[in-house]
Every structure is written in C-alpha cells, then in structure tokens.
Amino acid sequence: MKNALPRLKWLLRLGAAASLLAGLGAALAVVWHRLLTPQLLESTLPGQPRLYRWRHGHIFYTLAGPEQGPPLVLWHAPGLAASAYELRELAAFLREHYRVYAPDLLGFGLSDRPALPYSGPLYVELLSDFLREVVGQPALLIAQGISCQHALDVARREPEFCRGLVLLWPEHDAGCWRERFPWLRSLLAFLARTPLLGSLTYCLLTTRLALRALAAPGQRESNLDYSYATTHQFGAEHAVRAWLADRLCLETDSVRPPANSLPCPVLLVRADSEESKVHSWPGLQDPGVAVEQLWIETRDCTVDHQVAALLSARLSSWPALATPAEEVSTATSDTGEAQEAPQAIESEPAQSAPASVVAQTRPQLAARSEPALEAYCVRCRQKSPMLAVSETTLKNGRPALQGTCARCGARMYRIVRR
C-alpha cells in the first residue's frame, strides 16, 4: 500500500507532463500551419481559366476543347487535397473531341472556401446550377467517388441537362486512403465534429509527412507539392472536415429516384470485377436504366495516364452516346414531289468535323457553282447545308448521302431515291 501511492503519483505526473507536451505540440502544429498559409497555388489543367459567380462563392473552372464539341463536365470527388487537378490526365485526353469543363468544387482547389455547413445537398445544388447557368445544354457528366451520388441525383431530377453519366469508382473515397487505414475512419469522423480537435486534426493531416504517407504509392513529388499547396489555403479546412465527418454523402431518402426512371445511359467504372451486382444505390437496378460496367484496376482509384487513356477509348466507342434517332429527309425533285417523313436510323456517334470544314460558312457555299445539298441536322434542329458529301448505304439497305453539318459539324444523312 505504501509503494502504490508513490507509483500513482508518478503516473499522474507523467500523464500531466505528456498532456502538456501534447498540447504544446498541437499548438505548435496549428501555429506552424497558419504561418505556412497560404501557399502559391496555380492551375495546371489544360484550357482557359474561368470563374463562375455562384451565390455561395466563386467557382474556378477550366474550359478546353473545340467550341463546337459536345460538352463534358468533370466533377471530382471531395477529399483531402482534392481538386480538379486529380482529373488532369483525363481532361488532356478528352479535350480533343469534347468541350471539357473542369471545375473545382466549392471549398477545394482554386474555388472559394467560405465557412459554410458543407453537405451533399449543397454540392447537388452546385452541380445543378453549373449545368444550367454555365454549360446550358445536355452534357456528358463524369463524376468520381462521393460525387457520383451528387451527379446521379442531378441526372434524375434534371434529365434535360445530362446526356450521359460516367461514375468512376462510386464505392470508393477519393484516394482510398481511408480504406487502407479503416481504423482511422471512425476516429477522424469523431475528431472532425469537434471544433478544436477538428482544426488540430486537419493541421496534422496536411503536413508533408502525413500527405506523403496517405498518398497513393508512386506519387510524384510535384503531385505532393500541389496537394500541400491546395491544403494550405485560407478556409481549406471547412469542406475537408465535413468530408471527414461523412457529411457530404447523401441520405438514403435523398438518393431515392423519383417516379420517372433515369433516362440517360450510365457507364459504371469499378475496381473489383468480382462484385457481380450493380451498385446498391436505388435506381441503378431498374430495368429501364441502361447501365454498362467497366472494370479498371488502378492504384487507390486514381486517374493516371493509363487509366485516362482507357476511359477515353471507352467513351469514343460507347454506343449509348450515339443519337438514338437520326432524322433524315429525301431529296426534293424539281417537280415539287413531297418529301419523305424523317426516319430513325442507327448511326455512329456524331463527331466534330475538322476546323477547316466547320469554318466553312454559307457565303462560301453560295459562291460555288453547284447548289449545296441540305438535310435536317439533329443538333441544330433545322435544315443545314451538307459538307463532305459521300454515298453510303443504311443498315436497312436504303441508299443515302452522308455528310457533315456546315454549322456544327455533326454527321448528317439524307435518303436518296432508288
């Protein structure tokens, strides 16, 4: 009994000293993080830098690709050091054929980082407004990680702005480092909900040592430098803490589909080919939803050069992106015979014509000695002159003329008389 009391006092003193040292270390980490904030951060994505003045803050995005190309939106996943920079390889491939929009989510990258209650519905609202006010037409939407929930919800609620949906590893977090360290998930969620401990946790996770340990194996030093810079911006901790606390996921009721099923085709990219069933979200298992699956093995679900090349090749040959009904018209004879009604035919996806072809205007066409052939353009929704006209045979055996629209470069067909 006499020996137990001195030992207890010694343990208490040791615990107090350890607590004091831990508190001093935490305070030093927070002060050191503040002194190193902000770091210089510049966008390295291809394209023109632009700003979308949203009501909750300015959204930075880059715009690349041909002006007449079909629009495509890259929607990166939220996470530690997350931004559109993670999809730069994919943007470099897709800008050759698409009009690529690559925004940084609110609270990440070069976008504003206000002190807001970040949540899944907030990002659903952001994506919906971005498609409506910036893109302004049906677009192919590529989402990653948790953002797949937000994109799927927007596609159900506003199908007029979604031409197709590509879900990149929706069952995994950005970087997947919380899956490599599963014991950290519940601990970080608890710490992130506490104001003081949440700030301390963020400061510790954004040190160079922690970022290097949590990064995917084989990451370049330049990627770590960008991650360090984007995490050391004023207000960068707000959205990350909401992500750590699992507040950016949509509730089960909010992702439940409305009465109408998902009208656009879905390409589901997964990392594990052994999982036979489609993702567990409501609606993807409906018979009316066209869901295709693609398995790509990658390190921590990151989009590197090889993965970007595979995705770009798959999108170029994705039959679901083809226009389901191409309207064609017959040639009108000099005697004034009535035109044949437009018919639905199967065709390849419309591709952008070369710049030299698209740049050809009506005055140039009128200057030709021969009259220009016209056909109905599905994209322009009106009759347009046909360029690069050639003869072809449709799948139903009927002869037709094939060409490209002088306005937008879309592929056009015109049935000819036998």
Contact between residue 319 and residue 267 where contact means Cβ atoms under 8 Å apart: no
Residue 167 has pLDDT above 50, yes or no: yes
Per-residue pLDDT at 24:
74
Q: Nearest CA to 116 among 126, 101, 130?
A: 126
pLDDT confidence of 264, banded at 50, 70, 90?
confident
In sequence order, the 6+-apart residues with CB closer than 8 A to the CB of 251 are 120
CA atoms of 12 and 54, how far apart (whole Å): 54
Same domain, 86 and 178: yes
Per-residue pLDDT at 328:
35
Q: How many domains does the chain have?
A: 2
Per-residue pLDDT at 186:
80
Residue 27 has pLDDT above 80, yes or no: no
Same domain, 315 and 344: no
Q: Is residue 1 part of a domain?
A: no
CA atoms of 302 and 308, how far apart (whole Å): 10
pLDDT confidence of 288, banded at 50, 70, 90?
low
Per-residue pLDDT at 137:
92
Residue scoring higher pLDDT (191 or 127): 127
Same domain, 301 and 166: yes
CA atoms of 153 and 151, how far apart (whole Å): 5
Residue 108 has pLDDT above 80, yes or no: yes
Residue 362 has pLDDT above 50, yes or no: no
Same domain, 250 and 339: no
Q: Final residue of a domain: which of 269, 303, 321?
A: 321
Mean pLDDT of 289-316: 84
Per-residue pLDDT at 345:
30
Task: Choose the weakest-confidence range: 240-244, 316-320, 342-346.
Answer: 342-346
Residue scoring higher pLDDT (30 or 292): 292
Q: Is residue 13 part of a domain?
A: no
Task: Choose the weakest-confidence range: 137-146, 152-161, 328-337.
Answer: 328-337
Query: Which amino acid is located at 357 in the chain?
Result: V
Contact between residue 101 and residue 171 where contact means Cβ atoms under 8 Å apart: no
Same domain, 268 and 395: no
Task: Choose the weakest-confidence range: 99-113, 166-180, 240-254, 355-369.
Answer: 355-369
Mean pLDDT of 42-57: 92
Q: What is the pTM of this model?
A: 0.71
Per-residue pLDDT at 125:
96
Same domain, 96 and 224: yes
Per-residue pLDDT at 256:
47
Same domain, 301 and 348: no
Residue 363 has pLDDT above 60, yes or no: no
Per-residue pLDDT at 28:
73
Mean pLDDT of 351-358: 34
Q: Is residue 39 part of a domain?
A: no
CA atoms of 377 and 386, how far apart (whole Å): 9
Per-residue pLDDT at 74:
97
Per-residue pLDDT at 13:
80
Dig out the tokens for 129 from the structure: 């407004």
Q: Which of 20-29, 50-59, 361-370 has the highest mean pLDDT?
A: 50-59
- Residue 138, preceding peptide bond in cis (omega within 30° of 0): no
Q: Is residue 12 part of a domain?
A: no
Query: Interior CA angle at 201 toward 197 and 204, to 5°?
Result: 140
Per-residue pLDDT at 198:
85
Residue 72 has pLDDT above 80, yes or no: yes
Q: Final residue of a domain: which of 321, 353, 370?
A: 321
Contact between residue 308 and residue 222 where contact means Cβ atoms under 8 Å apart: no
Same domain, 62 and 150: yes
Per-residue pLDDT at 254:
46
**DSSP type of residue 321:** G
Residues above pLDDT 90, as percent of the chain:
33
Residue 300 has pLDDT above 60, yes or no: yes
Residue scoring higher pLDDT (243 or 186): 243
Q: Is residue 25 part of a domain?
A: no
Question: What backbone torsions phi and psi does residue 32 show, to the nearest 5 degrees?
Answer: -65, -40
pLDDT confidence of 330, banded at 50, 70, 90?
very low
Q: Scan for tokens 């939407």, then name that residue.
A: 141
Q: Is residue 29 part of a domain?
A: no
Dig out the tokens for 91 from the structure: 């943007």
Q: Is the dihedral of CA 109, 133, 122, 145 positive or negative?
A: negative
Q: Final residue of a domain: which of 321, 342, 360?
A: 321
Same domain, 152 and 55: yes
CA atoms of 125 and 261, how far apart (whole Å): 20
CA atoms of 328 and 96, how far apart (whole Å): 28
* CATH (domain of 193): 3.40.50.1820
Mean pLDDT of 241-259: 71
Residue 407 has pLDDT above 80, yes or no: no
Query: What are 381-392's pLDDT values in tens digits?
Result: 677 777 778 888
Q: Is residue 24 part of a domain?
A: no
Per-residue pLDDT at 114:
95
Q: Is residue 11 part of a domain?
A: no
Residue scoring higher pLDDT (13 or 249): 249
Same domain, 281 and 346: no
Buried b (16+ CB within 10 A) or exposed e, 365-376: beeeeeebebbb
Mean of pLDDT over the chain = 77
Domain extent at residue 342: 329-415
Same domain, 356 and 304: no
Same domain, 340 and 265: no
Residue 329 has pLDDT above 80, yes or no: no
pLDDT confidence of 180, banded at 50, 70, 90?
low
